[in-house]
Amino acid sequence: MLVTPQVKACDNFTDETDTKETVTVVIAPFRISKDPRREDAYTIAWVCSFADSCKFEKCYYSKMSRRDRPQHRERERGWPE
């Protein structure tokens, strides 16, 4: 299995003043672990290079959106875990 970072254009980057712009981001794997539910599968967790500074609440990678997901609230101090 080859897991590599992806460079992409993000059209929804939102800064602290709610201004949207297109930026180039890197989506990279930061944890690969054995899936506890399936013996033959792995789980890959990804992180975005703009996750700390993006305020777009509907983006999966944005720290702003993670605050609303209960499973991630406890991890916020150790981002990424």
Domain membership of residue 50 (yes or no) is yes
Query: Is 78 part of a structural domain of the chain?
Result: no
Evaluate if residue 25 carries a pLDDT over 90.
yes
Q: How many domains does the chain have?
A: 1
Percent of the chain whose predicted confidence (pLDDT) is above 70:
79
Q: What is the pLDDT of residue 40?
A: 85
* 77 in any annotated domain: no
- Please say whether the beta carbons of 52 and 25 come within 8 A: no
Instruction: Give this prediction's pTM.
Output: 0.68
Cβ neighbours of residue 21 closer than 8 Å, sequence gap 6 or more: 13, 15
pLDDT over 90 (residue 60):
no
User: Tell me: the pLDDT tens digits for 4-23?
Assistant: 999 999 999 999 899 999 99
Indicate whether 1 belongs to any domain.
Answer: no
Residue 14 lies in domain = 6-71
Tens digit of each residue's pLDDT (9 = 90 or more) over 34-55:
888 888 888 888 999 999 999 9
User: Rounded distance, CA 71 to CA 4, Å?
Assistant: 26
